[in-house]
Structure 1
Amino acid sequence: MQQLEMLSAGLGLLGAFLLATKSRYSGLAFVAWFVSNLGWLIFGARNAHWFFFVQQIGFTVTSVLGIWNWLIQPAMRGGTKGPLHQDRSGVSE
């Protein structure tokens, strides 16, 4: 269980770092958070931390929404830039 906690915490921190960098890899933060959320859901259920478990359900929903908005939807549009190559820095090209 300790390894699950370490993995979930590490992926949560990685997600925060990826988004904070405003790089072309920022969208992958939501993938890291999604996997982290799954780990925390397992942890919360196994330890009967039910309010924590419900919170993680909410975070999982936001992770799925982020994956949709940052990765899947742009890929479906088929733009010239891939979803990982979009400039999200707010600076016009």
Structure 2
Amino acid sequence: MLTSLEWTGSLLGLVGAYLLATHSRVSRYGWIAFLAANVAMMVFALGIDRYGLLVQQAGFMGTSLLGLHRAGLWPRRRIAE
């Protein structure tokens, strides 16, 4: 299980980086890959008791959520008028 999480997180992180680097119409989906990679690596970090890695991935998750929002993939809240 831990090995699967490690490889899933690593490969999804690479996919996310590649998509963003292409600077194409599909680039914004790299943020989804990053978010999934963050989740996988956070569970992996918990499984191996590495809390520094957990904190790092939690911080990266924040940047992934910001990227999703800025790319228009995170629903925007409408303020009632």
Class of the TM-score when normalised by the shorter of the 2 chains: 0.7 to 0.9
- For residues 23 and 73 of structure 2, what CA distance do their matches in structure 1 show? 18
Q: How far apart are residue 72 of structure 1 and its match?
A: 3.1
Q: How far apart are residue 4 of structure 1 and its match?
A: 1.1
Question: Normalised by the size of structure 2, how large is the TM-score?
Answer: 0.86
- For residues 29 and 55 of structure 1, what CA distance do their matches in structure 2 show? 19
Question: Normalised by the size of structure 1, how large is the TM-score?
Answer: 0.76
1:51 aligns with 2:52: yes
Aligned structure 1 segments of 4 or more residues deviating by more than 4 angstroms: none
Instruction: Give deviations 1:1-55, integer Å, cap 9, x for gaps.
Output: 1111111111000001001101101101110000000000001111110011000
Alignment of 1:49-88 (within 5 A): 49-72=50-73
Q: How far apart are residue 71 of structure 1 and its match?
A: 2.3
Q: Which residue number corresponds to residue 20 of structure 1?
A: 21
Over the aligned positions, Cα root-mean-square deviation in angstroms equals: 1.4
Q: Which amino acid aligns with 1:29?
A: G
